[in-house]
Amino acid sequence: MLTTIKQKACYSAALYCLTFLNKTGATLTFCKGKSKEAEIKRINKELANIRSKFKGDKALDGYSKKKYVCKLLFIFLLGHDIDFGHMEAVNLLSSNRYTEKQIGYLFISVLVNSNSELIRLINNAIKNDLASRNPTFMGLALHCIANVGSREMAEAFAGEIPKILVAGDTMDSVKQSAALCLLRLYRTSPDLVPMGDWTSRVVHLLNDQHLGVVTAATSLITTLAQKNPEEFKTSVSLAVSRLSRIVTSASTDLQDYTYYFVPAPWLSVKLLRLLQCYPPPEDPAVRGRLTECLETILNKAQEPPKSKKVQHSNAKNAVLFEAISLIIHHDSEPNLLVRACNQLGQFLQHRETNLRYLALESMCTLASSEFSHEAVKTHIETVINALKTERDVSVRQRAVDLLYAMCDRSNAQQIVAEMLNYLETADYSIREEIVLKVAILAEKYAVDYTWYVDTILNLIRIAGDYVSEEVWYRVIQIVINRDDVQGYAAKTVFEALQAPACHENLVKVGGYILGEFGNLIAGDPRSSPLIQFNLLHSKFHLCSVPTRALLLSTYIKFVNLFPEIKTTIQDVLRSDSQLKNADVELQQRAVEYLRLSTIASTDILATVLEEMPPFPERESSILAKLKKKKGPGTVTDLEEIKKERSSDMNGSAEPASVNASAVSTPSPSADLLGLGAAPLTNSAPPPSSSGSLLVDVFSDSASAVAPLAPGSDDNFASPDLASSEVVSEEPADTVHDADELFHKFVCKNNGVLFENQLLQIGLKSEFRQNLGRMFIFYGNKTSTQFLNFTPTVICSDDLQPSLNLQTKPVDPTVDGGAQVQQVVNIECVSDFMEAPILNIQFRYGGTFQNLSVKLPITLNKFFQPTEMSSQDFFQRWKQLSNPKQEVQNIFKAKHPMDAEITKAKIIGFGSALLEEVDPNPANFVGAGIIHTKTTQIGCLLRLEPNLQAQMYRLTLRTSKEAVSQRLCELLSEQF
């Protein structure tokens, strides 16, 4: 934006300089060089002459000074450096002649930067011109402010310009300039433009008689309303009123603002965009008037053109497409949505490429509406034809997007088949995206999962290089979870592997599935165990190291499934190419698998190499990858906008089909942290290192967080940590009273820690022995950027020696609707009583925000459960009989006394739940060890519920009184 405005200033300056210098004949005397060297020599001579004039004893008159400053400006625009003349240009600003002042402002707009020492003098001259009430001088000053547009300019004039804008005696031309100047300053420094009384008055400029003022004011109000909707909500009725007058007027009524028989097209587009900042009007009269406007625009689109010139159709279609965008945004008038769809359908075969592109793009959005989805589906043949015949790749990509958006159970197989056909000849730039969409649709609308398996294998065959790990991970997950498709999948991949040339991803899928379910097809002589093994091993030498590692795992699985080929597999594992492999991973697998197959009994092998258990049913990670590739607010999200967000923040089970939901316009209720996509758990193929923890943030699967190795230095040694530190002083603000949320984290590690209208903070953490790692997710729930976003973990002086925390810095800018992640590495040095404080500071809409919350790092997080027999428990219980080692608390139940919930909370607290230890079966007992860097502290607990009195008695015994007291406090709050 800054570059564009600067370029425009340079262009206007060059044009003016050429005109002025031509009149004086200066250009001819100064640019007649026959070569570049001659030109430079002539320019240097001219610069020396100008310098001598400026330094001469004789004072220059205004005209001469203007001429020489103009020459300097022209020389600069020719590409030569100028290092003098700035003061003379500033002096021109004080002239009362328009042309002299104009040259001064042009020079400053182009050559003076915001760090110049002259900026104060320039600001004073601008202030004088703004206060002069001379409309010409005010216009020049406002143009200069907008052209420079620096933060210093905003600091100096952001408070003055709104006053000029809403003043009753300000001329129309100055109001236009003031509105656009204020818009420029707000875009560059929104925190410096104060909201105040002027905001309510500027809205009424929409009723101004001068359409130029209305156009400029609409641009300003639209930008302001996007970030401060409540301040400008009164603009809706005024915008509808003004739009109605324009739409119903004849082209002769607004002669000065009619463009090729289209009345005020630019203003109409801006008003329609302003209305898209708000929901449909609640006032029935306003709503009815707006509906009439939109119907009139749709009706005019059907009328014969009043001119054959392209400018007429461009202006007319610009208003039409913006009206359709508003209809889609409101999504409340079925009649208008269907009419919009039909109108767009007419453009799908238009000879103008841009119109076809825009029609496809708009219909992608219409397909997400329940009112117009069926209408969009009627154009499926036209869209498929566009996919096959369209010459422009961008239009073909929009056609793919539309097919994806209009897909449902009734047409899924047709659309997937067409996408697969197109994939064979598709442009390389969009193949990966098409692969992801085919994989999503095949899974989402698969009634018969044999079709799904066929589709994915066909996908790998056609575009194997573009099939990401998420795609083949997902097909394996689904096959493992569905018994009815396992035999078919094994048979199909076996047949596919027999092709002379197989893509490596197909080898991965085949190796994994045959390793799990090869026994289901081993009865057929054509797919006997030995044939399966030989088929896979024939691909071994052609594969990369990760695939070879997977195949070695398949071989050891075969040892368990097919004992008759055990010797053959051991010979392969024993070969020098495996045991002495240069790759340490392959060598280690070969050695370990060979040893396992040699010494382990049949029962042990069957246990170690048993069939994979079903995966937790969660949303597909393929969708998260597609969203990441396409960016927020794209067609990928639009199909799910209307669905209710019902997923549990702690990772409740979801149906297997893809059912992600996203909100295109962030709202205070938007769940920014539930991004959904679970990585594979158990011993599934490990995600690549590029995988993001943002997928399925609140999964309970431990594998979603990178595991911690006890005692490993890698947990804390990171080059990024040098730039961050744990601050020891207390935060400025009082800690938010979020004890209830804080206590909920005592027995769980994942969830939402804090939430208000601006910010949502989520946690996902894992602890092992005395180490832990916590992922903190900060979600911006607004549509406005957070600036200078600085989260800091603060430990008190008492806490610092006991808890070692290292944090990684985060991006200081958080876009609206986005989230950032911060990693905190944790080491428990010794037992501690307090919790660290998370302090967050940022700027939102010019206001400084500062909040603090307790970070739920509690002593019980470093519990390791310990299984004990009844005899061992009571023997240890007696050893901890010292009064200082026992803490007991009798308290009223705060929650329903459910035995299963109580068990879950004790286990979540970190201790082992010991069954059949207490003589009273209604009591609960647990045991565990608190691990710190310096010591280990054994802990025994006993919880005795009294259902009749609705009371609990909790007894804790440890070797340290303070630890007993702290654990008792934490656990008592849970019941």
User: What residues form the annotated binding site?
Assistant: 53, 63, 67-71
Cα 848–Cα 850–Cα 854 angle in degrees, nearest 5: 165
Judge whether 4 and 184 are in contact, CB under 8 Å: no
Element (H, E) at 291: helix 284-302
Rounded to whole angstroms, the Cα distance separating 647 from 655 reads: 11
Contact yes or no for 555/569 (Cβ under 8 A): yes
Cα 18 to Cα 274: distance, rounded to the nearest angstrom: 40
What is the C-alpha separation between 638 and 968, in angstroms, rounded?
49
CA dist 962 and 918 (Å) reads 26
Rounded distance between C-alpha atoms, residue 779 and residue 759, angstroms: 6
* Beta partners for residue 821, in sequence order: 777
CB atoms closer than 10 angstroms to residue 209:
7
Give dist(CA 306, CA 93) in Å, integer.
49
Cβ-based neighbour number of residue 454 at 10 Å: 16
Listed in sequence order, the residues at least 6 apart from 582 whose beta carbon sits closer than 8 Å to its beta carbon are none
**424: Cβ contacts below 8 Å, ≥ 6 apart:** 462
Residues facing 926 on adjacent strands = 913, 941
Which pair of tokens denotes residue 753?
């820690």
Tokens of 206: 């929409």
Residue 754, phi then psi, degrees to nearest 5:
-150, 145
Residues 48, 105: contact at Cβ < 8 Å?
A: no
Kindly compute the dihedral angle of the four CA atoms of residues 519, 521, 523, 527, in this order, to the nearest 10 degrees.
-110
**Which residues have a Cβ under 8 Å from the Cβ of 285 and sit 6 or more positions away?**
none
> Helices 584-599 and 545-561 sit at what angle, rounded to 10 degrees?
10
Q: How far apart are CA 376 and CA 933, in angstroms?
A: 64
Distant-in-sequence contacts of 120-128, Cβ < 8 A, 24+ apart = 121/90, 122/90, 122/93, 123/152, 123/153, 123/156, 123/157, 125/90, 125/93, 125/94, 126/93, 126/156, 126/157, 127/156, 127/157, 127/160, 128/94
DSSP code of 308?
-
Beta pairing, strands 759-768 & 924-931: unpaired
118 CB-contact burial (10 Å; exposed 0-12 / middle 13-18 / buried 19+): middle
3-state secondary structure of 20: helix
CA distance 226 to 370: 26
- Do residues 399 and 383 touch, judged by C-beta distance below 8 A? yes
Four-CA torsion 685, 689, 691, 693, nearest 10 degrees: 110
Long-range contacts of 435-438 (CB under 8 A, 24+ apart): 435/459, 435/463, 435/466, 435/467, 435/468, 435/471, 436/468, 436/470, 436/471, 436/622, 436/625, 436/626, 436/629, 437/400, 437/404, 437/626
